[in-house]
Amino acid sequence: MVVNHTSRWWIDRQMGWSRYWLVYGTVTVAAPIFLFLVGFVLPVSLHKNAADMLNPSRLGGYLRRGAQIILAGLLLNLVVFPEDPLWSGGVLQTIGLSIIVMTLLAPLLRYRAGDYALLALAVASYVLFLAVHARLQAWLPAHPNLGLVLFFDYAPWPWMSIVLVGLVLGWWWRDVAARGPDGPYFRRLAAVGAAFMLLALAAEWRWPSTPHVGFTRDPGLNGHWIPGPITIVWILGTVFVLLSLFYWLCEMRGWRPHWLVVLGQTALMLYFVHQVIAYSLVNKWLHVNFRSWALFWIANLALVVACIGLGYAWKGIKPRLARKTGRPAMAAQRPG
C-alpha cells in the first residue's frame, strides 16, 4: 500500500517503465487484499453466532462500524484530497459499505446452497459490469455527481464482488475449523490460487495487451482502475496464495512478529495518516520528486518504519482516549 502510493506521488514518468510496472504491480495487490479480507474476516465473529446474526444489537455494531469507515473516507477526502469533491468515493467508503452489505447477506450462508448462490451473485455482478461497461461510460458525463459517489476510486460495483468471494471463503474456513484442523483448507486454497495465477499468465500469453501486463488490458471507469477478467483472476490467485503462505508461516511455523500484528491492528489509522505524510506533506508541501531509485527505496523504508512506530504509539494512546470518552477500546482496528 505504501509503495503503491509513493510510486505515484514521489516519482514521475522520467523514471521510465520501471515506475509503470511498480505502480501496476502494487495496485493489483494492495487494495484488493484489504477488500478481500473485509469479507474473509467477517465470518470469524459471524460464524460463532450464526443463529444470532440478525439480532438487532449485534447487527447494529457491524452497521455502525461500516458507517464509521465511510465517514473516515469522507474525512480523508476533506483533509488529504481537498481538490476533489467531499462526496467522492474511495476505498474506505467501499470497505464501509461492504461491511454493511456483507453483514446483511451473511445470514444466507446458513442455508443450503446459500454459499454457492452468493458466489454466483459475485460472478454475475462482475460479468454484468463488464457487459454494461460501455453504457456506464456514456452515462457518467450526464451524471457527474452520482458518478463521483458510485463510480469513482474503487467503485462499490464491481469491487464488492471480491468482498463477497472473501465472505464465502471465510465462511467455508470457519466451517472447516469448527470440525477439525484447517491446514488442509489452506493447502487447497493455495493450489487453487496457483492454478489461477497460471491461468492468468496463460491468458496474457494467448491474448497479450500492449504493454504486456498493464492498465490497457483493464476497462477502468471514471478515470480510475477497474481490473479486467485476466487481472481479476491474477488478483484472486495472488490473494489465495499469500493468505495460505502466511497461514503456513504464522500458524504452522509459529512466525508471529509483533510489529506485523501492530500494523494489522492499527491499519485504519495508518491508512489515513500515511497518506497525510506521503501526499499532503511530502508531495504537496515539500514537492519531493525522487530521481534516484536508491533514495526512493530508502524513503519508503523510512516511511514504513515510521508507520510501525505510529502503530505502537496509537496502541498506547487509544485506550487512554477510550477511557476519557467512556467508550471501550477495540482490540483491533483494520480498514475492514
Tens of pLDDT, residue by residue over 108-119, are 998 889 999 999
pLDDT band at 331 (very low <50, low <70, confident <90, very high): very low
Average pLDDT, the chain: 89
Q: In 3-state terms, what secondary structure has residue 151? A: coil
- Cell 499469500 locates to 242
Average pLDDT of the residues in 150-177: 94
Q: Give the model's pLDDT for residue 336.
A: 38
Q: Give the model's pLDDT for residue 326.
A: 60
Q: Which residues contact 313 (CB under 8 A, 6 or more apart)?
A: none
Helix (H) or strand (E) holding 114: helix 114-139
- Supply 44's cell numbers: 470469524
Q: Give the model's pLDDT for residue 324.
A: 65
pLDDT band at 325 (very low <50, low <70, confident <90, very high): low
Q: Give the model's pLDDT for residue 93.
A: 95
Q: Give the model's pLDDT for residue 214.
A: 85
CA 129 to the chain's CA centroid: 19
Sign of the dihedral defined by the CA atoms of residues 53, 55, 58, 60, in that order: positive
- For 6, 166, 176, 177, 198, the CA distances from 170, given in Å and listed in that order, are 31, 6, 10, 10, 23
* Residue type at position 197: M
**Does the pLDDT at position 4 exceed 90?**
yes
pLDDT in tens, 208-263: 888 778 888 899 898 899 999 999 999 999 999 999 999 999 999 999 899 998 99
- Supply 16's cell numbers: 521510465
pLDDT in tens, 124-161: 999 999 999 999 999 999 999 999 999 999 999 999 99
pLDDT band at 332 (very low <50, low <70, confident <90, very high): very low
Q: Which residues contact 30 (CB under 8 A, 6 or more apart)?
A: 1, 4
- Count CB-CB contacts under 10 A for residue 146: 12
- Cell 500494523 locates to 263
**Does the pLDDT at position 48 exceed 80?**
no
Q: Give the model's pLDDT for residue 330.
A: 47
CA pair distance 159, 198, nearest whole angstrom:
23
CA pair distance 171, 13, nearest whole angstrom:
43
Average pLDDT of the residues in 54-69: 83
* Residue type at position 326: G
- Count CB-CB contacts under 10 A for residue 14: 8
Cα 255-35-11 angle, rounded to 5 deg: 85
* Residue type at position 96: G
pLDDT in tens, 249-301: 999 999 989 999 899 899 999 999 999 999 999 999 999 999 999 999 999 99
pLDDT band at 316 (very low <50, low <70, confident <90, very high): confident
- Cell 501492530 locates to 262
Cα 129-133-136 angle, rounded to 5 deg: 105
| Whether the Cβ atoms of residue 164 and residue 121 lie closer than 8 Å to each other | yes
